[in-house]
Structure 1
């Protein structure tokens, strides 16, 4: 869902989360995440690498940005577009 349309109190399914559509929701299910509350305690970088391992392919790094956005949101941050987190992801990846 577009971040501007997200209403925290109405988030009950994966596609209610900011930046999550059907394809991203399917990726989350592959990771064992079936509802928004399942994101509590998840590490977005770990989620990205697990998804790559499960599917046997390297996903676009922007998928990691989406994972950052939803884990931040579920932990109380305001909904933001996925690209808001691109610089953070790039810093984290260059530090490794």
Structure 2
């Protein structure tokens, strides 16, 4: 869902989270996450690594940004677009800026 349309009072399914559509919701379910509350204690970088291992492929690193956005949201931060976390991810992983 677009971050501007997210409401904390209506978090019933994964697609109610910011930046989560059907494909990202399927990725979360593959990780064993079925409810938004299950994201509170998850590490977005570990989630990404686990997703790559489970699918046998390297996913776009922007998936980490999406995972950061939803874990932070569930920890109480405001809903933000996933790309707001790109610089943080690149710095954390020491990726060169593009």
TM-score by shorter chain over 0.5:
yes
Q: For 1:41 and 1:73, how far apart are their aligned partners in 2?
A: 11
Aligned residue pair count: 95
- For residues 3 and 20 of structure 2, the distance between their equivalents in structure 1, rounded to whole angstroms, comes to 9
Partner of 1:92: 92
Deviation per residue, 1:24-46 (Å, 9 max, x gap): 00000000000001112100000
Residue 30 (structure 1) aligns with = 30
User: 5+ unaligned residues in a row in structure 2: which ranges?
Assistant: none
Q: What TM-score results when the alignment is normalised by the length of structure 2?
A: 0.95
Correspondence 1:48 to 2:48: yes
State the match for 1:80 in structure 2. Answer: 80
> Please, what TM-score do these two structures have when normalized by structure 1?
0.97
Q: Does 1:10 align with 2:10?
A: yes
Q: Distance in 1 between matches of 2:91 and 2:85?
A: 10
Secondary structure class of the residue paired with 1:73: helix
User: Root-mean-square deviation (CA), in Å?
Assistant: 0.9
